[in-house]
Amino acid sequence: QEYDYVFSVDIEDGKPPLKLPFNVTEDPWFAAQRFLDKNSLSQLFLDQVANFIIDNTKGVTLGQESSGYVDPFTGANRHVPGSSTNQAAASGTDPFTGGGRYIPGGQPTQPQSSLVDPFTGASRHQPSNVHVNLASNTYFPQKTYVTFETANPVQIINKLKEFNEKVGAENQLSTAELDSLQTLMEGKDVTDVHISNISKVLDWPTEFIFPGLDVLRVAIRNQKVCDHVCSQPGFLERQVLFLAPSSPVPTQLLALRILANCFKHASGQRLLLAERETVITEALNCRLTPNKNVQVALATLLLNYSVCLQDMVDEEAGYSQCLLAIASVMENPLDPEAEFRLLVCLGTLICNDKSTRELAKSLELQNLIIPMQTRVEPKKVSECAGFVINRLQ
């Protein structure tokens, strides 16, 4: 049988791509359903496949007869003698990943988004003529911690100087002490003087503390600072208090970012694992916030917990708490970046643990993920959602 289009869809590494045939006289959803039925694929992919067909047949009026022909193996047109019709060529874009397949003699139609690091947005190297498929999941399991690195030390210090005039003489820092905090954030050698000065700022009244928290958020990336603050009685309790619903948004945001950055060093990992139940429970106080930055910070904290837990034994309680937390956060409207980080978190948790996967199914997390498959931008959200759902089958 001849078709107007024959697309190639990669489902599993080591196996040949599946053929998705389509005639412009067909309904895209009918063709998508036929493809799923023939290949025993999940019904959850119906909209994704149908929309892929529509996107890749733009410019052609669907439902009308066509005299074009597409090679069932290459997806290319052949010359029809006496015909001037130039049927649109199949783009070869994979409906599950958005990636382009290799077309011999031509250039892959790889979208730019597949060449971008999902967390930083920076370009990464990808060999030529490589196509992305459903099995080539690069999103999870996540193996490294995600931290908040960006800072403008000058702006932070200027805010500290402004508040330094308002905190009372007993809490004020000298100009030299304030300047030492700037050098600390700039990555210079850390001394006991630096640590003493940052401790003074963290004792400021709550209404003035957020620039001091920002200093700590940057400084805690240094192992000496992290080891010191994580060993101090009351450090974690204070951060948890900042997560209360009544706390100002900047304070909540920076407390979450500090906790996420603690995972950068072993001392922080040990502390956050030991106090996991309290930290996650209190962090969920922020789950209803409409602030996008807070949403992303909360998702990142949970993601880092998943990275830390994946190599632990006898941590069923940790896995369960993280899954319940993901479900609780996903029930609310979220920024796409927060959605993405939660998807990576979930994928990391269920990737190699059957019992966690079964628990995720029992929580009906699929129902929360399915709408994410329809996200147009950023593409990484819909792609990662598809990979997670595939794992939950």
> Per-residue pLDDT averaged across 192-198, rounded?
85
As beta bridge partners, residue 8 has: 19
Instruction: Identify the weakest region by mean pLDDT among 58-62, 135-139, 383-387.
Output: 58-62
What pTM, to 2 d.p., does this model score? Answer: 0.65
Cβ atoms of residues 156 and 215 within 8 Å? yes
For residue 333, which phi and psi values (nearest 5 degrees)? -60, 135
- For residue 34, pLDDT beyond 80: yes
Q: pLDDT class for 42, splitting at 50, 70, 90?
A: low
State residue 12's pLDDT score: 62
- For residue 100, pLDDT beyond 50: no
Q: pLDDT, tens digit, for every residue of 352-371? A: 778 888 888 888 888 899 88
- For residue 65, pLDDT beyond 90: no
State residue 135's pLDDT score: 52
Determine the distance from the C-alpha atom of residue 372 to the mean position of all C-alpha atoms in its chain, rounded to a whole number.
Answer: 12
State residue 285's pLDDT score: 93
Average per-residue pLDDT in the chain? Answer: 77
**Cα–Cα distance measured from residue 131 to residue 320, given in angstroms and rounded to the nearest whole number:** 35
Q: pLDDT class for 269, splitting at 50, 70, 90?
A: very high
Nearest residue to 137 (alpha-carbon basis) of 387, 389, 393, 346? 387
Q: pLDDT, tens digit, for every residue of 127-147? A: 323 233 445 788 888 999 999
Number of Cβ atoms within 10 Å of the Cβ of 183: 14
State residue 133's pLDDT score: 47
Instruction: Please give the C-alpha separations between residue 242 and each of 166, 249, 252, 255, 311, in angstroms, as whole numbers.
Output: 21, 9, 6, 6, 30
Structure tokens at 199: 């401790």
State residue 279's pLDDT score: 95
The radius of gyration of the chain's CA atoms, rounded to the nearest angstrom, is 26
Q: What percent of the chain has pLDDT over 70?
A: 76
State residue 13's pLDDT score: 60
> Per-residue pLDDT averaged across 231-250, rounded?
90
State residue 43's pLDDT score: 59
- For residue 88, pLDDT beyond 50: no
Q: pLDDT, tens digit, for every residue of 303-352? A: 999 999 987 777 788 889 999 999 999 999 899 999 999 999 999 999 87
Q: pLDDT class for 1, splitting at 50, 70, 90?
A: low
What would the DSSP string read from start to end of 295-337?
HHHHHHHHHHHHHHHTT-SS-HHHHHHHHHHHHHHHTS---HH
Q: What percent of the chain has pLDDT over 90?
A: 27
Q: pLDDT class for 271, splitting at 50, 70, 90?
A: very high
State residue 87's pLDDT score: 38
- For residue 79, pLDDT beyond 50: no
* All structural domains of the chain: 5-115 (3.10.20.870), 153-391 (1.25.10.10)
Q: pLDDT, tens digit, for every residue of 204-213? A: 888 888 889 9
- 70-93 burial, b at 16+ Cβ within 10 Å, e below that, comes to beeebbbbeeeeeeeeebbbbbbb
For residue 168, which phi and psi values (nearest 5 degrees)? 95, 150
First-to-final CA distance of the chain? 33
Instruction: Please give the C-alpha separations between residue 229 and each of 32, 148, 283, 358, in angstroms, as whole numbers.
Output: 56, 18, 19, 38
93 CB-near residues (< 8 Å, 6+ apart): 52, 55, 56, 99, 100, 101, 109, 111
